[in-house]
Amino acid sequence: MLEIVELTVAYGPLEVVRRVSFQVKKGTVVTLIGPNGAGKTSILNAVSGVVPARRGRILFDGRDITRLPAHRRVSEGLVQVPEGRQVLAGMTVRENLELGGYRRPIREVMQDVVRMEERFPILGERRQMMAGSLSGGEQQLLAIARGMMARPKLLLLDEPSLGLAPKMVQAVFETIAQLKAEGLTILLVEQNAHLALASSSHAYVLESGKMVMDGPAQTLRSEAAIISAYLGQAI
């Protein structure tokens, strides 16, 4: 589904991602883990087209999209749910959902709005409330639902549990598990490495913009070096 080849991302003279390569197979959940500043979000932003790749190639569904504009990538089925949720606070929950499908026929959009409200009942209950009035966890569910409105082939999730209460973290990861069971392909960046690895098929470990380790997620959960550096304790 996704192949990254020798990707380098830079902000001015500073290279924050250096010659990173990895793959995401169709129907899997792949996690990028590493300390703050490792380059995880920059990789997602390059994949979605929010920031340009300085060097390397991004292949999506067999097509080179390295220079494709971000909005065209959404149309191709590559959708990012950004860090910090970034819902449109001054619009209603339903309006946020509708905008998630803005490039699609209105009949399909309204059908999918109903599906999202059924999948996330709390959003249906709050459909006329301003998105900015929701709790952090509810906003995260809205951000995921808004991303799903674009009918993605690949969903990029950036720190979905950031700043959430434990109950809402559980709800978010239950949603990820449901999407995985339905066959959606997901590339996940997550600060909670325990939950991320437990939810993933494969994981890549980054440090200082470089790929330092990868393997099946369950194998990495038992690696002493990973536990020490990124998980903090034995599982």
Q: Write the pLDDT tens digit of every residue in 21-72.
A: 999 999 999 999 988 889 999 999 999 999 999 999 999 999 999 999 999 9
**Over residues 67-95, mean pLDDT:** 94
What mean pLDDT, rounded, does the chain reach?
92
Angle at 108 (CA atoms; ends 124, 98), nearest 5 degrees: 45
Express each pLDDT in 206-215 by its tens digit.
999 999 989 9
18 neighbors 53 (Cβ within 8 angstroms): no
Domain spans in the chain, listed from the N-terminal domain onward:
2-231
CA distance 52 to 32: 19
Give the global pTM: 0.91
Instruction: Compute the Cα dihedral for 192, 151, 204, 235 and give only its sign.
Output: positive
pLDDT above 80: residue 231: no
19 neighbors 6 (Cβ within 8 angstroms): yes
Strands 14-24 and 2-11: antiparallel
**pLDDT score, position 234:** 45
Classify domain 2-231 by CATH architecture.
3-Layer(aba) Sandwich (3.40)
CA distance 180 to 182: 5
pLDDT above 90: residue 115: yes
Among residues of the chain, what percentage have pLDDT more than 90?
79
**pLDDT score, position 235:** 44
